Amino acid sequence: MKTAAQLVRLKSVQNRQVHSIAPEQTVLEALQIMAEKNVGALPVIEDGQVVGVFSERDYARKMVLKGRSSVGTPVRTIMSTPVVTADSQQSIDRCMEVMTDSHLRHLPVLDNGQLIGLLSIGDLVKEAIVEQADLILQLEHYIRGH
């Protein structure tokens, strides 16, 4: 079973880079970064620490549905807090449990308190499928006596 840090390292170089935003930046700036980088969420970083997460879901539910303007609204106003994170040594299964229980689509991964990556539910599902396929192959070999 891989750890969160191992899965972060397995992501492609392009997808491994963590794009973030500061809490005082505007929602419009966050949306521009997300569109440019083709990501669904941004960790919100203040003084080197993850203080929240801003996601497409936050925008839809806390901006659009409430009629707010993304031009002058700071990210701090609508970011999700408290932030749920994974330790770099947590198993993929534990990360999936945390995301499922907390209804999250993105999970910041920390190593000694420092952000090293962001895992999406898609990243975890892909890895679970790979691990299950490998286990099935091993069991088939065992049954056949190879």
Q: Does the domain spanning 4-144 belong to CATH 3.10.580.10?
A: yes
Summarize pLDDT for 72-102 with one digit per residue, the tens: 899 999 999 999 999 999 999 999 999 999 9
Q: What is the pLDDT of residues 130-145, one digit of tens each?
A: 888 999 999 999 999 8
pLDDT at 68: 86
Return the H-helix or E-strand segment holding 50: strand 49-55
Q: Nearest-CA neighbor of 107 among 86, 91, 78?
A: 86
Query: Do residues 98 and 85 make contact, with C-beta atoms less than 8 angstroms apart?
Result: no
**Pairing status of strand 41-46 against strand 49-55:** antiparallel
Instruction: Tell me how far apart the alpha carbons of residues 67 and 138 are, in angstroms, rounded to a whole number.
Output: 54
Average pLDDT score over the chain:
92
Matching residue, tokens 């419009």: 28
